[in-house]
Chains A and B, each alone.
Chain A
């Protein structure tokens, strides 16, 4: 693929976002593995259980899942039916991708908006997830992930538009 002439500032920002996404994802997974193992050890060897570890582990599943979904968006690795798109010639394929990108961006923005409303109402009600962690804090990943997915699809969209116009080699 030919490089896309993005302003260097923007390119650097995207790079930083990518780095942060990866770092957070890897950190969360490492924490999950270690905490799950520690919990089993504590339970079987000492007969104790680490306070709130089970709830935290379940919350980590949500975070890891959404961060994984963000990473999947970056690489176009979301589950989809490609029985038809697979056979389309390059520029038409890119044109179709423009449509599906726009659709995905719209849905993700709607989800981001609803997630913000969810956090807002959780904040007002002051509901607690567990321990000292309020629901709104545990759910911050929801609007964050959906807006990042929308961002990724917006970046893909710019490539697909250029491919459809023949200004860029199709993938």
Chain B
């Protein structure tokens, strides 16, 4: 058994697809307990029994349509005209737009590739240093995971709902809980941008009302999008999956029928590419439903909790240890597999320490945001390295101050539950 375990770990480290490794874990464990192995298939079939999962393909499709159109250009233009003249303004709004874009596309690499390439020259032109600009666009991929309707938030809710922890984890609550912590991160990084601009020539182009109106008019179709989605969900008018359907059809009409920036000929390609991401995420989720099933049957989270409680006596030290663990983990695993693998283990323990499950979700995702940027292995670093054709060392140096600021933000989010929970109605 130990040998088999080591062999499976070797498979993970050598780069076998995670879904296959998780499936093997589930199959082997159920086989050892003499359980009929169709239980694994029945767990995967449950992907067809969770209404909220519908949101994942629909939001992802919408995100890919947005990324493939000229919407990023229009957004950057607005940023530039409205805030280019303001000290630190461009950086602040660039961060906000990246956050919004990541929230919709769910995958941080897309933001770096689609927006980073446009923002980098704009920032340089506005007088920001090369190092700062590079750091910002690399970081841009991470900020925004905390805002609705980001896929990791939805996925955390889905996984948490499987666990019977005795407390409801509503996805709409997660959407509310992410707002203030997300704003805190943008605020702190914006202050850094302002500080960067000290002593530089402030004005590049004065504010021009005609340009401003033109840029607004160009993006008139995209700008209502966050309000439709968030307003619809928060007002209770739409369920999450309905908001996803409205977003998909709205974005389709805007980018394909009105702007015509995605041709009907290229549409199948966009559809397929977006579903490659969805398939990769959901097949891991499906397998982990099977392995989570086993974990719960074998009462492994409960045993882990007993073990950890003997060594860690309070919630604060548990959270600190968890932060360290997640930062390490996040460098190895992408956010989706980290969620489906670790949440079933960590959440029951955290609840044992009296931590609110919604708050835990926000902590988890905030940690993952940094882990993407942590040298030497964070995923965003590699994407930025390829996208901007820089050496790894350049990228490291550029993101370090950002990582430091994000660490402070994560500690604040961790130890100040009110920040996450204030907006939720009790």
Q: Which A residues are within 8 Å of any B CB, using their own CB? A: 22, 25-26, 29-30, 32-33, 36-37, 39-40, 54, 57-59, 61-62, 64-73, 75, 77-85, 96-97, 99-100, 103-104, 107-108, 110-111, 114-115, 117-118, 121, 129, 138-139, 142
Contacts and interface: CB of A to CB of B under 8 A. Distances in A.
A36 B54 CA distance: 9
B328 to A, nearest CB: 11
14 contacts: A22-B268, A22-B272, A33-B248, A36-B245, A64-B275, A64-B279, A65-B286, A68-B277, A79-B337, A81-B333, A84-B15, A117-B41, A118-B38, A139-B41
A83 B30 CA distance: 30
Contacts of B332: 81, 83
B332 to A, nearest CB: 5
B53 A61 contact: yes
Contact of B12 (A68, A81, A107): A81
B283 A111 contact: no
B276 interface: yes
Q: What does DSSP make chain B's interface, helix, strand, loop or mixed?
A: helix
B213 interface: no
A41 B19 CA distance: 37
Interface centre among B14, B42, B276, B279 (most CB of A within 10 A): B279
Contact of B61 (A33, A97, A115, A121): A33
Nearest to A22: B272
B246 A37 contact: yes
Interface string B269-281: 0011001111111
Given A67-B279, A75-B276, A84-B15, A62 B20 contact: no
Interface stretch (B44-52, B294-302, B342-350, B364-372): B44-52
A58 B52 CA distance: 9
Contacts of A61: 47-48, 50, 53-54, 56-57, 282
Contacts of A37: 245-246, 248-249
B47 A65 contact: yes
A81 B15 contact: yes
Contact of B279 (A39, A70, A103, A107): A70
B58 A33 contact: yes
B42 A68 contact: no
B234 interface: no
Contacts of A30: 271
A16 B83 CA distance: 52
B92 interface: no
A118 B24 contact: no
B15 A79 contact: no
Given A84-B14, A138-B48, A114 B252 contact: no
Interface centre among B248, B272, B333 (most CB of A within 10 A): B272
B276 A107 contact: no
B160 interface: no
Q: What does DSSP make chain A's interface, helix, strand, loop or mixed?
A: helix
A29 B57 contact: yes
Interface centre among B42, B45, B241 (most CB of A within 10 A): B45
Given A32-B58, A114-B37, A77 B268 contact: no
Contact of A82 (B15, B57, B271): B15
Contact of B276 (A40, A68, A80, A97): A68
A66 B45 contact: no
Contacts, number: 189
B331 interface: yes
Contacts of A64: 57, 275, 278-279
A39 B241 CA distance: 11
A31 B20 CA distance: 29
B58 A65 contact: no
B272 A97 contact: no
A78 B18 CA distance: 8
A137 to B, nearest CB: 12
A168 B333 CA distance: 30
Interface centre among B16, B268, B280, B337 (most CB of A within 10 A): B16
A50 B65 CA distance: 27
Contact of B15 (A58, A100, A117): A100
Contacts of A110: 23, 27, 37
Contacts of A58: 48-51, 53-54
A160 B94 CA distance: 43
Interchain residue pairs A-B with the least CB separation, the first 8: A68-B279, A36-B245, A65-B282, A78-B17, A69-B279, A100-B16, A85-B15, A68-B275
Contact of A71 (B24, B37, B276): B276
Contact of A62 (B48, B242, B252, B336): B48
A26 B272 contact: yes
A71 B277 CA distance: 9
Nearest to B40: A114
A121 B97 CA distance: 52
A83 B374 CA distance: 13
Contacts of B282: 61, 65, 68-69
Given A32-B58, A54-B51, A79 B18 contact: yes
Contacts of A129: 48
B20 A104 contact: yes
B265 to A, nearest CB: 13
A103 B11 contact: yes
Given A58-B50, A69-B280, A110-B37, 13 more contacts: A30-B271, A66-B279, A69-B282, A72-B283, A79-B280, A80-B18, A81-B12, A81-B13, A100-B14, A107-B21, A110-B27, A118-B45, A139-B45
